């Protein structure tokens, strides 16, 4: 990764983690990546982007969270029957993440990037969370057609997908503090101050 730095952001649904990541990237004047990674992985692999979208941050209903298919690096060759498997879709996203990190400093939201880049120098791993009532409020601002109860149900469902996805491909618990360098309650600080806090931490850690 040479002298590049990377900030990875894992986030609870409704915690404004994506907005914080985008704000941080603008502050640092570096590229910002989130779902765009699946389009890059599709282009590089030749696998239909629809398949990446279907598996994005969740595992198929038949895969239980206690089952793991831990990422170990590399991709499966096109002539293999597992070429379009969930595992290989994850592998290609991981490949893109490593290439982006090697290319330039950046901010990456989601995709288990903190795990994929584990052990690399100059990586700051952040987890953004907020109390349920604040997450519900954020979701309702984007989706006013929902009731508060429906918003809470959606938050729990998406967070469950993300938890199962991470457990399946990394073998680690999504909300475990030892996955991260910095955990932030975005409801306490708001988007801009949360981004400023990460920037200050980055400046302290990477000199």
Residue 62 sits at φ, ψ, to 5 deg, of -80, -10
CA 40 to CA 51: how far, in whole Å?
Answer: 13
CB 103: neighbour CB atoms within 10 A? 12
For the segment 93-105, the average pLDDT, to the nearest whole number, is: 95
pLDDT score recorded for residue 68: 62
Alpha-helical runs (H) found in 29-147: 36-45, 49-55, 86-103, 113-116, 132-142
In a domain, 151, yes or no: yes
In a domain, 80, yes or no: yes
CB 50: neighbour CB atoms within 10 A? 10
pLDDT band at 18 (very low <50, low <70, confident <90, very high): very high
DSSP label at 127? E
In a domain, 154, yes or no: yes
Please provide the average confidence, as pLDDT, over all residues in the chain. 88
pLDDT band at 179 (very low <50, low <70, confident <90, very high): very high
In a domain, 40, yes or no: yes
Q: Provide the residue range defining the domain that includes 154.
A: 6-201
Single out the residue of 7, 16, 178 nearest to residue 101, CA to CA.
7
Q: What is the CATH number of the domain that holds 196?
A: 3.40.50.300
In a domain, 206, yes or no: no
In a domain, 207, yes or no: no
**Domains contained in the chain, number:** 1
DSSP label at 179? G
Alpha-helical runs (H) found in 104-177: 113-116, 132-142, 148-170
Give every CB contact of residue 141 below 8 A, 6+ residues apart in sequence: none
Evaluated on CA atoms 114, 183, 172, 12, the torsion sign reads: negative
37-80 pLDDT per residue, tens? 999 988 888 888 888 777 765 555 544 544 567 777 778 778 77
Q: Could you give the angle at the alpha carbon of 122 between the alpha carbons of 31 and 26, nearest 5°?
A: 25
Tokens of 123: 């990586």
In a domain, 123, yes or no: yes
pLDDT band at 125 (very low <50, low <70, confident <90, very high): very high
pLDDT band at 1 (very low <50, low <70, confident <90, very high): very low
In a domain, 1, yes or no: no
For the segment 156-167, the average pLDDT, to the nearest whole number, is: 90
């Amino acid at each position: 990764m040479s002298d590049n730095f990377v900030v990875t952001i894992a986030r609870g649904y409704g915690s404004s983690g994506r907005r914080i990541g985008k704000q941080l990237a603008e502050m640092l004047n570096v590229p910002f990546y989130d779902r765009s990674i699946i389009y890059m992985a599709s282009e590089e692999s030749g696998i239909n982007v629809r398949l990446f979208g279907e598996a994005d941050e969740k595992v198929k209903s038949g895969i239980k969270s206690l089952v793991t298919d831990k990422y170990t690096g590399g991709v499966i060759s096109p002539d293999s029957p597992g070429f379009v498997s969930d595992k290989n879709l994850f592998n290609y996203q991981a490949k893109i993440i490593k290439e982006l990190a090697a290319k330039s400093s950046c901010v990456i939201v989601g995709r288990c990037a903190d795990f994929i880049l584990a052990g690399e120098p100059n990586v700051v791993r952040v987890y953004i969370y907020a109390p349920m009532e604040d997450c519900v409020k954020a979701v309702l601002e984007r989706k006013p057609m929902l009731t508060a109860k429906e918003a809470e149900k959606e938050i729990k469902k998406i967070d469950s997908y993300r938890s199962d996805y991470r457990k399946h491909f990394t073998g680690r618990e999504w909300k475990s503090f030892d996955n991260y360098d910095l955990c932030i309650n975005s409801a306490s600080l708001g988007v801009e101050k949360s981004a400023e806090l990460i920037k200050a931490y980055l400046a302290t850690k990477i000199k």
